[in-house]
Amino acid sequence: MTWISDGAMGCDGRARHTWLALACRALTIGAVSALVGPRDAQAQEARESYQMPAVRVADRPEVDGDLSDAVWESAALIDAFVQQEPTEGAPATERTEVRVLYTGSSLFVAVHAFDSEPDLVIATEMRRDGNRIFDEDNFEIILDTFMDSRSAYMFVVTPLGAQLDQQVFDEGGRDRRGSALAVNRDWDGVWSVSAHRTADGWVAEIEIPMVTLRFPDSDPQSWGINFMRDIRRKNEQVFWAPIPREFSLTRVSLAGSLTDLASLDRGLDLRIKPYVTGGGRYKFQSGIDDVRSPDGDVGLDVKYGVTPSLNLDLTVNTDFSQAEVDNEQVNLTRFALFFPEKREFFLENANQFNVGTPNSLGRIADLFFSRRIGLTPAGTRVPILGGARLTGKVGSNNIALMDIQTREAFGQSGDNFLVARYSRDIFGVSEIGALVINKQADNGGHYNRTLAANMNLVPTAALTIDGFIAGTDTKGVGGGELAGHLRAGWLDQSWRIYAEYEDFGDSFNPEVGFVPRVGMRRSKIHFERNPRPDFLGIRMMEPMTYLEYITDRTGRMVTRNWHFMLGTIFDNGAYLVVRHNNHFDRIDDPFRVGGVTVDPGDYRFHDTSISFNSDQSRRFYYRLNVQPATFYGGDRTDYSADIGFRLTSQLAAGAGFSRNDVSIPNGDFVADIGSFQVDYAFSPTTSLRSLTQYNSLSEQLSTSARLRYIFRPGSDIYVVYDEVRRDTTIPLDPFVNEFRDRQLVIKMTYLLSF
């Protein structure tokens, strides 16, 4: 651990770390990694051992779930699948047949998932991108269209025809848990599925238009490809090209090859998607005149393929009225909470703009966070006039460029946001890159800029090294605006070990990013082992510990946490976790939590939690958690429970409740959050979701309902109703004892492809 200074570890109270030293250490690690050599041999072996020829046909098959179409007889057949779980390398216990065809404009995949007990196939989820798709029987496809062993498209289908798609970057984070920054679950591609259960299992027929994918401008070409089937009642996962247990299907460097693709046709590669909205809003506050306002708008999104591998997106008068609402959270810290992006324009290729700390437990730094554009810190929408985005790949060069303009709102001038990221693939699956962000007020006053350089090195299959150096420039702010991150991680079938170090200056200020804590130096070391005892129905255990140590810029310790965990994964997928934390927190300035002030001082406290997740594939499933703790000189007990019901293949419901019962020297409070959600799928293309939430701290009750009808791929009708109400005086609104805000929106989009 020579790259952590004595000051950072609190040895003499003085930080001897310098930026030059950090930069030199990062470059030295990068050079050593380069000398270790590329990690290409394992990937090359998979590409050569698992190949299937791409069979081109003149007449396309009908995507109707009937695999008796004669055209499928000409396709190459894959039927040799091997287990990853529960017995790595053993043959699959159920037969799976996969066939692949293509025309110039589409790729077609046929799946016949045989099952010796077809009545036991678990299939209740029908809704697109449903949360439970991975908890039921499913079939997954991954396509590495650039054969770069880093990025890919992933498509998932269930026996009822439910669809889920996502973009994968950096092999999904390259570890068993993966990274939210490396898997874009919210991407929605245009593709079609027809699936149904049969007397001997289930079948699915899939069409993926070429225009949905990006790929090189070459002829012929090969793509990385792999398939996985999840036989859920056995908790069995089987692959065509084998993947070691510590990794998932996103490990595209170990995928097979789809060879000899030729004369691919994207047409004009132009998609135009206009929208129209209509509706109204009613807002009432006691003592203030109520407001009733009709609402309607039109706008346009355009997608154009500059090249087969480079995509230009344009948006005019952007609308996000169909975006799902945020989940309620209670903040018991002095740092900002993270809420994920849910707006469609920012989701596709979102990971190409990211530089941050993707593999950390918790959000340490995202240098670009798209929720800073078009949303206030409180989540209120700021109108977006329009924008443009260019993303894609040219050879080994990855390009991401975006410019967004917002309107004047809430008495503030509009802002222009320019985000540009360039990276280059090196040594097979490694990467180096740079990021530039410029936020500029229209009135020529305020500005904020972020500059960063990053690396993501993979010298061996088990070793990863990533990091960045960044600086910000803000009008009216002095020096000390630098930040850096360095991480080295090791992952194999038995161990997960990593070490991290961050140094953020006091005035580091990425206004278009998410960095909850600055003015600190953070060190962390993490050890985790994954034994498989094979008794009492236990599949794997996860004993884990880490030590996190944070100092201020003078080397004075301000936070320390020693974490212990024992996780137990059972054969049926149930999960039991016991955790214990020993905390130290030095508070220099008072802060408020739950309406009660925490005084300055040194605090030592601890917490222990026990949580249990039942088998999530059951029609009734639940999660329970209890956590007694000491807390800033007092006591705190947390409880939470979530239950879910799959009542039919169309109707599901879930409820959740959490309570934080806190007693500290300056006062007591109880924070309750309750939620109730109902999902009804009329068909795989038509679904209704309602979510009702209550937060006792704000005494706020909110309801949101969204009906989505996909009347053709890429074209939707939404009907959205939102309501927020508060009935008593609260600190947020001291002069308002009754508040109502209701909104009804109807939105239609129509995709035109040329």
Please indicate, yes or no, whether the overall pTM of this predicted structure exceeds 0.75: yes
Q: What's residue 697's pLDDT?
A: 87
Q: What are the extents of the domains in the chain?
A: 40-261
Nearest Cα residue to 387 out of 456, 471, 305, 319: 319
Instruction: Indicate the pLDDT class of residue 32, thresholds 50, 70 and 90.
Output: very low
Taking residues 89-111, what's their average pLDDT?
96
pLDDT, tens only, 162-192: 999 999 988 876 656 555 557 888 788 899 9
The whole-angstrom separation of Cα 174 and Cα 181 is 12
Q: What's residue 19's pLDDT?
A: 43
Taking residues 687-713, what's their average pLDDT?
92
Q: What's residue 8's pLDDT?
A: 34
The whole-angstrom separation of Cα 441 and Cα 413 is 6
* Distance set, CA 168 to CA 128, 533, 572, 646 (Å): 18, 32, 27, 29
Q: Which residues contact 133 (CB under 8 A, 6 or more apart)?
A: 125, 156, 158, 162, 164
**Structure tokens that stand for 232 in this block:** 């859920």
Q: How far apart are the first and last CA of the chain?
A: 57
- Count Cβ atoms within 10 A of the Cβ of residue 530 and give its class: 0-12 exposed, 13-18 middle, 19 or more buried: buried
CB-based burial, 182-191: b 16+ in 10 Å, e otherwise? bbbebbbbbb
pLDDT, tens only, 635-648: 999 999 999 998 88
User: In the predicted model, is pLDDT for residue 661 greater than 90?
Assistant: yes
Can you point out the beta strands (E) in 614-664?
A: 620-631, 634-646, 651-664
Q: How distant is the alpha carbon of residue 205 from its chain centre?
A: 27
CB-based burial, 518-529: b 16+ in 10 Å, e otherwise? bebbbbbbbebe
Q: How distant is the alpha carbon of residue 273 from its chain centre?
A: 25
Among the residue ranges 19-33, 197-211, 471-485, 629-643, the one predicted with the least confidence is: 19-33
Q: What's residue 22's pLDDT?
A: 46
Q: CATH topology for 40-261?
A: Immunoglobulin-like (2.60.40)
Determine the residue type at 475: K
